A and B are shown apart, each in its own frame.
Chain A
Amino acid sequence: MIKRVEVNYRGIFQKSLGKYLGSDIVMIASRMGKVAFSNGRYSDSPERNGIPCKYFAFVAEDLSEEELEAECGAKLDIDEADVSVVVDDTMVKGVEPWGWHGVRPINEKVHEKGCLLVITRHQPEDLLKFIAKKPYPYRLATLEGDASLAGMWVFKDDLTRERVLGAIAAVDPGIISIEAVEAYLLDKTKDARRAGAAREAYEATLRRVRLVKPGEGINWSHPVPVLPKWHEFEDTGIAVPAVPRGFKLGPRGQGRNDRFKRGTTKTHRPVIRFDLCIECTLCWLECPDGCFDPTEDGLYDVNYEVCVGCHKCAEVCPEPECIVMVDELRFENDRSPWEHWVRDPQGYIRWAEEKKGKERVHFPVVTGTGREVREGTYVPPKLSGAETPA
Chain B
Amino acid sequence: MKQTETDTAVLDQRLAAWDRKELLNGCQAVAQGVRLADVDVISAYPIRPYTEVMDALSKLIADGKLDAEYIIADSEHSQFEIVKHASSVGARAFAGSSGTGWMYGFEALVVTATDRLPPLFLVGNRALDDPGAFGVEHNDAMALRDMGWLLCWATTAQEALEHVLIGYRVAEDSRVRMPMALAMDGAFLTHSQHMVQVPTEEAVARFLPRYDLGPRRLHPDNPISIAPQVNEDWVMELRRQNWEAARRAKGVIVQAYQEFNEIFGERYATPFFSEFMTDDAETVLIGVGAVAMPARTAVRRLREQGRKVGYIGLRWFRPFPTEELRECLSRFRAVGVLDRNFAHGSPDCGGIVLHDVRSCLYPLASRPAVVNFIGGLGGRDISIADCTRMLEITGKAAERAGDEETVTWIGLRE
Contact = CB atoms under 8 A, between A and B. Distances in A.
B224 A242 contact: yes
Contacts of A373: none
B231 A233 contact: no
A234 B114 CA distance: 13
B233 A238 contact: no
Contacts of B365: none
B401 interface: no
Which secondary structure dominates chain B's binding surface?
mixed
B232 A234 contact: no
A229 interface: yes
B215 interface: yes
Contacts of B241: 230-231, 234, 237-238
Contacts of A386: none
A229 B237 contact: yes
Given A230-B237, A230-B241, A233-B237, A238 B232 contact: no
Nearest to A232: B237
B223 interface: yes
B216 interface: yes
A234 B116 CA distance: 11
B224 A234 contact: no
B409 to A, nearest CB: 43
A380 interface: no
B363 interface: no
Interface in A232-246: 233-235, 237-242, 244-245
A316 interface: no
Given A229-B237, A230-B236, A235 B244 contact: no
Contact of B227 (A43, A230, A233, A238): A238
A175 to B, nearest CB: 27
Contacts of A238: 114-116, 216, 226-227, 238, 241
B240 interface: yes
B231 A239 contact: no
A85 B240 CA distance: 38
Contacts of A390: none
Given A43-B231, A227-B233, A230-B240, A237 B116 contact: yes
B228 interface: yes
A239 B232 contact: no
Interface residues on A, range: 20 to 34
A227 B233 CA distance: 8
Contacts of B236: 230
A228 interface: yes
Contacts of A351: none
Interface in B51-78: none
B225 A234 contact: no
Contacts of B228: 240
Nearest to B232: A76
B237 A240 contact: no
A155 interface: no
A244 B223 CA distance: 8
A100 interface: yes
A98 interface: yes
Interface string B210-222: 0000011000000
A238 B231 CA distance: 13
Nearest to B177: A238
A241 B215 CA distance: 9
Contacts of B227: 238-239
B237 A228 contact: yes
A240 B224 contact: yes
Contact of A242 (B114, B115, B225, B233): B225
A239 B225 contact: yes
Contacts of A227: 233-234
A287 to B, nearest CB: 22
Interface in A84-100: 98, 100
Given A230-B240, A234-B244, A238-B116, A43 B232 contact: yes
A243 to B, nearest CB: 8
A349 B115 CA distance: 53
Interface in B169-216: 215-216
Contacts of B224: 239-242
Interface in B239-265: 240-241, 244
A241 B115 contact: no
A187 B241 CA distance: 55
Nearest to B233: A227
A227 to B, nearest CB: 6
Contact of B238 (A98, A100, A237, A245): A237
Contacts of B231: 43, 98
B213 to A, nearest CB: 10
A229 B233 CA distance: 11
Contacts of B114: 238
A241 B237 contact: no
Contacts of A241: 223-225
Most B CB atoms within 10 A — which of A230, A231, A233? A230
Contacts of A42: 232
A323 B2 CA distance: 90
Contacts of B223: 241-242, 244-245
Contacts of A100: 233
Interface in A63-99: 76, 98
B402 to A, nearest CB: 42
A349 B231 CA distance: 44
A298 B224 CA distance: 32
A227 B232 CA distance: 12
Nearest to B228: A240
Contacts of A43: 231-232
Interface in A189-241: 227-231, 233-235, 237-241
Nearest to A97: B231
A177 to B, nearest CB: 35
Interface in A244-293: 244-245
B237 A239 contact: no
B243 to A, nearest CB: 9
Interface of A: 42-43, 76, 98, 100, 227-231, 233-235, 237-242, 244-245
25 contacts: A43-B232, A98-B231, A100-B233, A227-B233, A227-B234, A228-B237, A230-B237, A230-B238, A230-B240, A230-B241, A231-B241, A235-B215, A237-B237, A238-B114, A238-B115, A238-B216, A238-B227, A239-B215, A239-B225, A240-B225, A240-B228, A241-B225, A242-B223, A242-B225, A245-B223
Q: Top 5 nearest A-B pairs by Cβ distance?
A: A242-B223, A230-B237, A230-B240, A239-B224, A239-B226
Interface of B: 114-116, 215-216, 223-228, 231-234, 236-238, 240-241, 244
Given A233-B237, A240-B228, A244-B223, 10 more contacts: A43-B232, A230-B236, A230-B241, A230-B244, A237-B116, A238-B116, A238-B241, A239-B225, A240-B224, A245-B223
